[in-house]
Amino acid sequence: MNPSFIVVEGLEGAGKSSVIELIRGFLVSKGHEVECTREPGGTPMAEAIRECVKQTWDEVVTQETELLLMYAARSQLVENKIKPAMAANKWVIGDRHDMSSVAYQGGGRGIDLSVLSALRTMTLGSFEPDLVLYLDVEPSVGLARAKGRGELDRIELSGLTFFENARKTYKKLVSASDKAMEINAMQTMDAVHCDVTIALQKWYATYLQTHTPDAAERNVTKASGVR
């Protein structure tokens, strides 16, 4: 079976880390080797970009700089880590991926989506996740959780309207995609984990049906009209 790239998305304080652990456990229980990544970050250079983009500077950080750094980090991660892991038959779980850029830099900062689309084509081509689990949380709830963990960084200090716009964009993207699912992350952690497990089990069953060698053969036979 081909390995998959599964991404967890959501605003700050949505609870991505514990959901990633849950998914990792699920995949390991199915016998898969799993690698976890995060964005921006996940390679030495991309981690340096992460530091750079999150810290506060004594100069204006333009939204163009922020956007380009996100795609620079993503390109490093996909080419140096995600694709090689998948080629070695490992399943990859991403803490954020391209949908974050559309939500934060597109929705939040207001950068034209055609610019993002051009950058995506240049850096990723047709590479995309097989499944995106979006953890939906109201910005005020998520930011309060993030504040409880420590001081907010440059992006986290962008204000409520920024996060409200990012959330609106996330919700639009998820409802327009057949590869993304929304989970209500304002419930208790147990309830969130229960919803994630149900969504994952359902997705995995369908994935098995369409991605085992037998299923691939059935699809070829069907397409060529041979019975």
Interface residue with ligand TMP, options 4, 76, 101, 123 (CB under 6 A)? 101
Residue 70 touching ligand TMP (CB under 6 A): yes
How many residues in the shown chain lie near ligand TMP by CB under 6 A? 13
Binding positions for ligand TMP, 120-159, rule CB under 6 A = 155-156
Of 92-100, 114-122, 134-142, 175-183, the window that binds ligand TMP (rule: CB under 6 A) is 92-100
Which part of the chain contacts ligand TMP (CB under 6 A), choosing from 100-108, 130-138, 174-182, 184-192? 100-108
Total residue count of the chain as it appears in this document: 227
Q: Minimum Å distance from CB 93 to ligand TMP?
A: 13
Q: Which of 40, 42, 94, 139 binds ligand TMP (CB under 6 A)?
A: 40
Query: Which of 26, 104, 170, 207 contacts ligand TMP by CB under 6 A?
Result: 104
Q: Are 42 and 170 in contact (CB under 8 A)?
A: no
Does 39 bind ligand TMP (CB under 6 A)? Our answer is yes
Of positions 4, 100, 123, 169, contacts ligand TMP by CB under 6 A:
100
Nearest approach in angstroms of CB 128 to ligand TMP is 14
Q: What is the DSSP string of the chain?
A: ----EEEEEESTTS-HHHHHHHHHHHHHHTT--EEEEESS-SSHHHHHHHHHHHS--SS---HHHHHHHHHHHHHHHIIIIIHHHHHTT-EEEEES-HHHHIIIIIIIT---HHHHHHHHHHHHTT---SEEEEEE--HHHHHHHHHHHS---TTTTS-HHHHHHHHHHHHHHHHH-SSEEEEETTS-HHHHHHHHHHHHHHHHHHHHHHHSHHHHHHHHHHHHT--
Least spacing, CB of residue 169 vs ligand TMP, in Å: 11
Residue 162 binds ligand TMP, judged by CB under 6 A: no
* Spatial separation of the C-alpha atoms in residues 107 and 134, rounded to whole Å: 15
Q: Confirm or reject binding of residue 76 to ligand TMP (CB under 6 A).
A: no
Name the residues that contact ligand TMP, by CB under 6 A: 12, 38-40, 70, 95-96, 100-101, 104-105, 155-156
